[in-house]
Amino acid sequence: MMKYRSIALSVPFTRLKFFMEELGLTPSELAALAPYKKLFAEKGREFADYFYGIFMDIRDTRKLMEQLENPQALKNDWANWFETVFTPDIDEDFMAYQWRIGIRHVEVNLDQPYSNLGFAMVRKFCDQLIESDVPQAGQAKVSSVVGKILDFCLLTETTAYIEATSRCDVEIIGGIADRIRNPITVIGGNLKRIQKSLDIKDPSYCVVEDIIAQSSRCAAMVADIKTYVDMFQKDAYAVSIYLPELIKGALGELASKIEAAKVEIETGLDPQTGFIEADLSDIKVAFYQVLENAIEASADSPKPKVVITSEPYRAPDNAVKVTIFNTGIPVRVEDADRMFALFYSTKPGSSGLGLPIARLAIRKSFGRITIEPAAEGTRLMMVLPKG
């Protein structure tokens, strides 16, 4: 039997237990498989040979396996995996083991579609085994339980794969930002010293000023990247938050911006939506970003205005909908989804990270955010759990 191994990436046991509940993997269900555990455990080697043959017939996976110094070790791993899936109880140790497999697929650069194909082949092997070795009266029940176990394993491994891949990408982005932050700061500081030594009528003065502006833009983008990376890597901790104070705080921080002085701010919050539930630090950043975006978008319009409203969302009022309308140029329908893509922006000088940061914060608190054109402007909507 393969021994379990602890892993560096935290295992989300609460989420995995939720998967089990939704799949109906109850003790009584697992009890139906108990009489056949030995049957499955004894088929580990046979399964490994079957599995090996399938992947040797696929060009891409065959290339991977042909590079192995000891193909038998891979067969042993597969045999042990099969025995491990069907013999122990599904406890936290088992969950951690399946989670680690998903992480390992990222480490060896195995594309997720091949993992999905592998599970399809496992099901096929199990169906054949049940048909040939399980009494007909019990086949339907055993097949149902085996299917649920394999569904759980696939969900666990896929979730681990996605999380590990995302974290790798974010860590790369964060590493790049850290590497260039100091050089940008040094360049900007030196340019300002050079500019001070120049006469304002000197043609070089404007050139240096333009370079300083571009350097400042890069510095702001690095800061936004750092915000995104930190938020992505931090676990969310939901608390009850008073919505009016949250909005007041964000507007207070934005008051010093040049654009804010031009824009009329109007609020109309429903008293029934006093509290939302979210991670406090994340949601503060989210509201700052969406309000900054609205203020900047409306600042150059003939009637610069931002309207913030709230209302209960869905009976029995278990969510809050916050709408932020601005009188800027309406977003195009075809651009609405792209507004939340990393680095996409319609504003010169923008980092293209404000709305992606807001979406990340809101998603972490189990909310959602959308944007759409409206009469004489643009409407952004956030739906968040009620506090």
Q: CA–CA separation, 324 vs 380, rounded Å? A: 5
Give the pLDDT score at 170: 63
pLDDT above 60 for 7: no
Q: CA–CA separation, 333 vs 327, rounded Å? A: 16
Find out whether 268 and 308 touch, Cβ atoms under 8 Å. Answer: yes
Find out whether 382 and 368 touch, Cβ atoms under 8 Å. Answer: yes
Q: Above pLDDT 90, what percent of the chain?
A: 12
pLDDT above 60 for 92: yes
pLDDT above 50 for 202: yes
The model's confidence at residue 245, banded by pLDDT at 50, 70 and 90, is very high
Residue 252 burial (10 A CB sphere; 0-12, 13-18, 19+) = exposed
Residue 155, CA distances (Å) to 101, 119, 126, 145 in order = 12, 11, 18, 15
Among 387, 241, 385, smallest CA distance to 313 is for: 385
pLDDT above 90 for 234: no
Q: What does 290-318 look like in DSSP terms, one character per residue?
A: HHHHHHHHHTTSSS-EEEEEEEEESTTT-
Give the pLDDT score at 1: 34
Q: CA–CA separation, 323 vs 337, rounded Å? A: 17
Q: Above pLDDT 70, what percent of the chain?
A: 86
Encode pLDDT of 321-368 as tens digits.
Answer: 999 999 888 888 877 777 777 666 666 556 667 788 888 888 888 888
Dihedral, CA atoms, 46, 36, 100, 363, nearest 10 degrees?
A: 130
The tokens describing 64, both together, are 């991977």
Give the pLDDT score at 124: 92
| pLDDT average, residue stretch 217-242 | 78
Give the pLDDT score at 62: 75
List the beta bridge partners of residue 311. Answer: 321
Q: What does 280-295 look like in DSSP terms, one character per residue?
A: HHHHHHHHHHHHHHHH
Structure pTM?
0.56
Residue positions counted in the chain: 387
User: Quick check: helix, strand or coil at residue 321?
Assistant: strand
Encode pLDDT of 112-125 as tens digits.
Answer: 777 888 888 899 99
Encode pLDDT of 294-324 as tens digits.
Answer: 888 888 888 888 899 998 887 556 888 999 9
Encode pLDDT of 256-272 as tens digits.
Answer: 887 777 888 888 888 88
Q: CA–CA separation, 71 vs 233, rounded Å? A: 37
Encode pLDDT of 133-154 as tens digits.
Answer: 999 988 999 999 999 999 998 8
Q: Which residue has the higher pLDDT, 355 or 131?
A: 131
The pairing of strands 275-279 and 305-313 is: unpaired
Give the pLDDT score at 78: 87
pLDDT above 90 for 287: yes
| pLDDT average, residue stretch 184-188 | 79
Average pLDDT, the chain: 81
